Structure 1
């Protein structure tokens, strides 16, 4: 039995190898324009499966690339085992402590929906379908970032599998260096945590809050209904909530230290 075939006896979740029915679909990323050649795809059943996979790959000298929902696609995956965490769906909201326990595949939209009945909200990324783990480990710029900072700054603990295949609960008290690194994007994602970001009181709905993007005209001016809106004071962020700046939407960005042509 070769190393890859042995995965079936190591993992309780699903394993796809080249030539298996469904292999091509399992290895495809969200961005279909990127081809991901991999040696195998593994959908783990739980954290113990992740630990077993890491130990097996380590002993065989194979690399692992984690991709919960198919984002962060890359074509540099030859000989790699692609780790899917779609079955790690834990989601528990504690409205009293204002904490949530979030599995590695849970998208921001599900956390928002679970927190909303309690008048709370998470710090979501720009898309409701991207996993909380992916957003948090990438730093995470939220629509509420002006008031509450990066998504990573609200994470209070990580349940991880380290490079030795050991399950660990990482907090500022148990391992301050690793905790700092996980929240500061200094480690590549060789493992996926269950994160516990703090929930925030949901902002009150206001008629002058606009979602989406606005496109400036050729004269560089915003549409009147965006141009005349008052400055945000409640911490909400977004293209239409940044007075004096052009919104993102197919135009040049004015970088600090550079002058616009003709300025």
Structure 2
């Protein structure tokens, strides 16, 4: 099964850089070849090519880019595989490997159905799903990977497999949370949920209010119901026209809200935070679920270099708040951001069909990103060190960065027994570790 020559790009050829790079350029992609797949046959051919040449194989869809340099690898770019098919009667969608959440939302929300998407509509759906998937409906319904019905994938032996809990229980368990360690997923059937509207948006508070806002937020999250999702971003906004005028050039504490529960209750639940004082900007409103991407309002297009780290927290204690608020007591660089997301709720419950997604004991995730300057990286690492006593000892793969690829870091994304089982399954399905351009799980 051959792949068309005009869809294989090699170093020095026109189009190679575009096909081999993601948004985050922190890990330079240096593959021997890139296969621009348009269908699952191309993916099979790419795996066969890697096997024939004894090369590792990596996957690039729509996300931030390779986590490790794809040195001399075959890289499969799946962005052209973007078909989405909705079965509204069954409440499911079939999502191809390169589809972004934006395309999934366009296909589902017209039916009054919502996927368990992430905060950015520009992120690839399948890559998010195999990493676990913690989104704006997660406290109500759980990790996105918990609601995958079936999938198609190409394994290291070049086989195209239809994988379900009945046909391949071990592989189905491992892929949902095991990232792309067991093959290239070419499509997934996911469950959809009857959520057509949200009470959502942001409260943007001035930096000098950070201490008060963070302490109030920590207390507030102890009492909100599971259908209230929230997060807080601490960041300095650049002084550019794209930023709303009240926020330009200012350090801002941005509280993000996504309430999917009973009509009219969202405003009541949010009152304790609104009573803190007049924010610089208040965008919280009733909205169609199709507008969910406006809540976090994340940049999506320009390439960048970022060194992201994350940890999971048991709780948001006063001391943890002190460490986070300390960011506001010194000049904040535009290239340094810190974000808390409220977990708990359905995240903590085991799924109906087990998978390997870890971190279910976390109350919050903490993500922090920085540019490569040593002084910025030190601030990031100092924050993580101070928060370590409040952590679960685990990380979340969806928020992991290029410095999290070591075995000692990857294994913290899983329970100890689950990680050993993953290594055993890796030895069965990918004994040569062909799929290692990732957060790698090596064969046992």
TM bracket (short chain): 0.7 to 0.9
How far residue 72 of structure 1 moved from its aligned partner, in angstroms, is 4.0
Alignment of 1:159-174 (within 5 A): 159-174=152-167
The equivalent of 2:117 in structure 1 is 124
- 2:239 aligned with 1:248: no
The runs of at least 4 consecutive aligned structure 1 residues that moved more than 3 Å come to 203-206, 209-219, 223-232, 240-247, 249-259
Q: Is the Cα–Cα contact under 8 Å of residues 153 and 187 in structure 2 kept in the other structure?
A: yes
Alignment of 1:36-185 (within 5 A): 36-185=29-178
How far, CA to CA, are the matches of 1:188 and 1:18 in structure 2? 25
TM-score (structure 1 length as normaliser): 0.81
- 2:301 aligned with 1:210: no
The equivalent of 1:6 in structure 2 is none
- 2:230 aligned with 1:238: yes
Tell me which moved more, 98-107 or 18-27.
Answer: 18-27
Alignment of 1:27-38 (within 5 A): 27-38=20-31
Determine which structure has the larger helix proportion and give its number. 2
How far residue 127 of structure 1 moved from its aligned partner, in angstroms, is 1.4
Q: Is the Cα–Cα contact under 8 Å of residues 65 and 190 in structure 1 kept in the other structure?
A: no
Distance change (3 Å), C-alpha of 1:116 and 1:212: farther
Tell me which moved more, 113-122 or 97-106.
Answer: 113-122
Could you list the runs of 5+ residues in structure 2 that have no partner in the other structure?
A: 232-254, 258-269, 274-314, 322-337, 341-367, 369-379, 392-444
TM-score (structure 2 length as normaliser): 0.50
How far, CA to CA, are the matches of 2:206 and 2:387 in structure 1? 18
How far residue 48 of structure 1 moved from its aligned partner, in angstroms, is 1.2
The equivalent of 1:3 in structure 2 is none
Determine which structure has the larger strand proportion and give its number. 2
How many residue pairs were aligned? 249
Could you list the runs of 5+ residues in structure 1 that have no partner in the other structure?
A: 1-8
Q: Is the Cα–Cα contact under 8 Å of residues 7 and 37 in structure 2 kept in the other structure?
A: yes
How far residue 56 of structure 1 moved from its aligned partner, in angstroms, is 2.3
| CA deviation map 1:103-157 (0-9, x unaligned) | 0000112111211111110011121111111000000101111111001001010
How far, CA to CA, are the matches of 1:45 and 1:212 in structure 2? 42
Distance change (3 Å), C-alpha of 1:219 and 1:101: closer
Q: Say which SS state the counterpart of residue 122 (structure 2) adopts.
A: coil
